[in-house]
Chains A and B, each alone.
Chain A
Amino acid sequence: MIVTIGGLAVRIATDDPVFLGILRQQYAAFTGAETDGAPIVLEVELTPPLLQSPDEDLAVRFDGEAWEMRRGDFMARYDPKTRRGQVRQSANRHSIDSVIRIIHSLELARAGSGFLLHAASAVRNGKAFVFSGVSGAGKTTLSRLAPPDVCLLTDEVSYVRKGDGGPDCGRKSGYQAFGTPFAGELGKAGENIHAPLGALYFLEQASGNRIGQLGRAEALRMLLRNILFFAQDPKLVEQVFAIAEDFIETVPVCRLSFRPEALVWELIR
């Protein structure tokens, strides 16, 4: 099965019918034809549940050749040169979902082209808007309040990367937001579409609806705090820093103070 997110295809190699069923349900709108052309291949070895302690923290390390990822519920290894990896996990969606997120974050950082962000995102009038914030800031609330003309890309993890210069790439910034299957409290995958990025908003619940500008330093700090990044690697951290810096120089970054009511969407156009 091939899962394509943000234009990056990952082939998940498994023959297990139960696991394939889980994958089809999880990634329904993001699956492609089964071909050998996918650039990344993950071979999944299914094991009994709980390889290690379920409370074990995620650790991502580069051993000089490949990335090793380990958490209580999975172990994985991914070689960025061959673009092949192996995953050991039980037949569940959470583990493979985490591995896919990590690989995407590593590949985006390696290419210096984008990032995954703790954020909801949506498309309106042909432009994408990203709404970032910590848990409780209102990502899912805002998503639930979206009017019918808004296409939700995700309520939890947004995918942002520079366009490839094609006709539909960002007209001004060059950044685009892509739909993801990574769902939060809404429990629903985003639409598999992408659009030029209009603005990034950091959410703050308030007594009224207002958009305020952020200074560059504050914008950079808030952006870095919300980028999903797992690797203990100075070179990649430098790449993430560089792309975040480029992003805030080219995309409007604002604070969106809002009341949990549909009227807030009047500001998002």
Chain B
Amino acid sequence: MGADQVSELYPLRAANVAARVFDGEVIVMNPADSSLFNLNETGTAIWQAADGTTSLREIVEREICGVSEIDSDTALADAEEFARALAGHGILLLRTEPA
């Protein structure tokens, strides 16, 4: 799973989940199974920027690389893994084209 593939992903928050930002972290509940997720600072930044029109690469460059010293390839790979994990739980949609 490389950075080229990551750059084509446009994450979008699932419409049917309930989420709140509390003290800088997002708490998400999926009504399908009442499962609960809490995202750390980086995850929260990705979640909040996941509007379906911004690519994951743009999100990573703006929200992660812009505020930390992590290299962009590593950050992108980590972000994709994170986004796919959320998508697997049905709380984030991953599109290959902008909405």
Interface residues of A (CB under 8 A from B): 215-217, 220-221, 224-225, 229-234, 236-238, 240-241, 245
The answer to whether B20 and A220 have CB atoms under 8 Å apart is: yes
The answer to whether A221 and B29 have CB atoms under 8 Å apart is: no
A234 and B36 contact, Cβ closer than 8 Å, known pairs A217-B23, A241-B29: no
| Chain B residues within 8 Å of A229, by CB | 34
What's the least CB distance linking A190 to chain B, in Å? 25
The majority secondary structure among interface residues of chain A is helix
The answer to whether B36 and A233 have CB atoms under 8 Å apart is: no
Does B27 touch A at the CB level, under 8 Å?
yes
Does B31 touch A at the CB level, under 8 Å?
yes
Query: Within the assembled complex, what's the spacing in Å between the Cα atoms of A230 and B23?
Result: 28
Query: Within the assembled complex, what's the spacing in Å between the Cα atoms of A65 and B20?
Result: 29
A234 and B31 contact, Cβ closer than 8 Å, known pairs A220-B20, A220-B22: yes
A225 and B36 contact, Cβ closer than 8 Å, known pairs A216-B22, A217-B22: yes
Quick one: CB contact mask for B16-37 with A, threshold 8 Å, 1 for yes? 1110101111010111111010
The answer to whether A234 and B17 have CB atoms under 8 Å apart is: yes
With both beta carbons as reference points, the residue of chain B lying nearest to A229 in the complex is identified as B34
| Chain B residues within 8 Å of A217, by CB | 22-25, 27, 38
A224 and B29 contact, Cβ closer than 8 Å, known pairs A217-B38, A234-B16, A234-B17: yes
Query: Within the assembled complex, what's the spacing in Å between the Cα atoms of A49 and B22?
Result: 47
| Chain A residues within 8 Å of B30, by CB | 237
The answer to whether B38 and A221 have CB atoms under 8 Å apart is: yes
Query: Within the assembled complex, what's the spacing in Å between the Cα atoms of A215 and B25?
Result: 11
Interface size band for B: 10 to 19
A238 and B22 contact, Cβ closer than 8 Å, known pairs A217-B27, A233-B31: no
With both beta carbons as reference points, the residue of chain A lying nearest to B26 in the complex is identified as A217
The answer to whether B33 and A215 have CB atoms under 8 Å apart is: no
The answer to whether B27 and A221 have CB atoms under 8 Å apart is: yes
With both beta carbons as reference points, the residue of chain A lying nearest to B30 in the complex is identified as A237
| Chain A residues within 8 Å of B34, by CB | 229-230, 232, 237
A241 and B18 contact, Cβ closer than 8 Å, known pairs A225-B36, A232-B31, A232-B33: yes
With both beta carbons as reference points, the residue of chain B lying nearest to A230 in the complex is identified as B34
29 contacts between A and B (CB under 8 A): A215-B23, A216-B22, A216-B23, A217-B22, A217-B27, A217-B38, A220-B20, A220-B22, A220-B27, A221-B27, A221-B36, A224-B27, A224-B36, A231-B31, A232-B31, A233-B31, A234-B17, A234-B18, A234-B31, A236-B31, A237-B17, A237-B18, A237-B29, A237-B30, A237-B31, A237-B34, A238-B18, A240-B29, A245-B20
What's the least CB distance linking A28 to chain B, in Å? 32
What's the least CB distance linking B60 to chain A, in Å? 24
Given pairs A217-B27, A237-B31, 12 additional interface contacts (CB within 8 A): A217-B22, A217-B25, A221-B27, A221-B38, A224-B29, A233-B31, A234-B18, A237-B18, A237-B29, A237-B30, A241-B29, A245-B20
